Amino acid sequence: MRVVETKAALRDALAAPRREGLTIGLVPTMGFLHAGHVSLLESAHAECDVVVMSLFVNPAQFGPGEDLDRYPRDRERDERMAADAGVDLIYAPPTEEVYPEGFATAVEVSGLTEVLCGDPGARGPEHFRGVTTVVAKLFNTVGPDVAYFGQKDAQQAVVIRRMAADLDFPVRIEVRPTVREDDGLALSSRNAYLEPADRERAPALHAALGAAADAAEVGAATADAIAAARRVLAEAGVEPEYLEARDAERLEPIETFNGRPVLLAIAAQVGGARLIDNVIIEPNAPGRTRGA
Ligand code: AMP
């Protein structure tokens, strides 16, 4: 496994594999790897000839009051885990390499980025502008055939699919299931912020989504499923920042389960960590839920 820090070195390292027609898989990360990242890396390793992992804590997707400065980092451990998962090349650029002096461009997907986490009362659309700008740059610098993202960040996956389609990036977007702790808590680098008492409350997000899925059937009001979820959260003393039912692809609000996949998404501050989770509910479909 090689580690490069500049676009020039990255392009150099990928020139020969590209010439030979090998397929390149990209897994973008902000580091502090956990089993969720590893599952994406292993998928890429199984399905592509060359695996590139980017490791970049992207300042553009953090708001002014957010956790950019304290975001957990452990470069040595990340490199070991990446090597074990079959990564061939880590691209870990310094901030100036991605945003040099004078940088003035943004990529913005409209419509999908002003709701849920993009609501001005949550992280705001600037968050997704930061994500799409850096992912567009990664697509251009790496030139992957396939790029892997986690269902844990469901809205991000929808927004990136839209961007890739709208801007004609010749890349296939793969979205893989959320990896969880045994008690249901979705793995996240931010779980490191949870004090023990908060860690005990945190699985309530997943439990609440499960209660909502149980209440879902075609023709039922999504408000009833959301009420079931709220009861579980209240028992654990968790107040959601948002808890909403939306069309899983268009992200429009859904009032009644209509047989199409419905994204039930939640964000909540639990102690020091802002946590997100989601489930896709497909009432009456075989298997009923996916991405859980
Ligand atoms: P991050 O480092 O948090 O920006 O995440 C990098 C990638 O890993 C994103 O595509 C995330 O959606 C994905 N990811 C994060 N947590 C999980 C998880 N628990 N299960 C699966 N994928 C995840």
Give 171 Cα–ligand 1 centroid separation in angstroms.
Answer: 19
CA of 153 to the centre of ligand 1 (A): 7
Nearest atom in ligand 1 to 178's CA: 20
* Ligand 1 in reach of 179 Cβ (< 6 A): yes
pTM above 0.85, yes or no: yes
The per-residue pLDDT for range 204-258, each reduced to its tens digit, is 999 999 999 999 999 999 999 999 999 999 999 999 999 999 999 999 999 999 9
CB contact set of 164 (below 8 Å; sequence gap of 6+): 139, 147, 171, 173
Pocket probe for ligand 1: among 87, 152, 161, 179, the residue whose CB has the most ligand atoms within 8 Å is: 152
Q: Is 37 a catalytic residue?
A: yes
Residue ranges and CATH numbers for the domains of the chain are: 2-176 (3.40.50.620), 189-290 (3.30.1300.10)
- Which residue's alpha carbon is at the smallest distance from atom 11 of ligand 1? 150
Does the structure show a pLDDT above 70 at 43?
yes
- Residue 135 near residue 160, CB atoms below 8 Å: yes
Q: In degrees rounded to 5, what are phi and psi of residue 52? A: -110, 130
- The residue nearest atom 14 of ligand 1, judged by CA position, is 150
Q: Is the pLDDT of residue 283 over 80?
A: no
> Quick check: 151 pLDDT over 60?
yes
Atom of ligand 1 nearest to the CA of 187: 19
- DSSP, collapsed to helix, strand or coil, labels residue 245 as strand
Is the CB of 186 within 6 Å of ligand 1? yes
| Degrees to nearest 5, angle at CA 214 with 212 and 219 | 85
- Each as own residue / partner, the long-range contacts of residues 79-83 (CB below 8 Å, 24 or more positions apart, any chain) are 79/1, 79/3, 81/33, 81/37, 81/38, 82/1, 82/33, 82/41, 82/53, 82/55, 83/1
Active-site residue, from 37, 45, 127, 206? 37
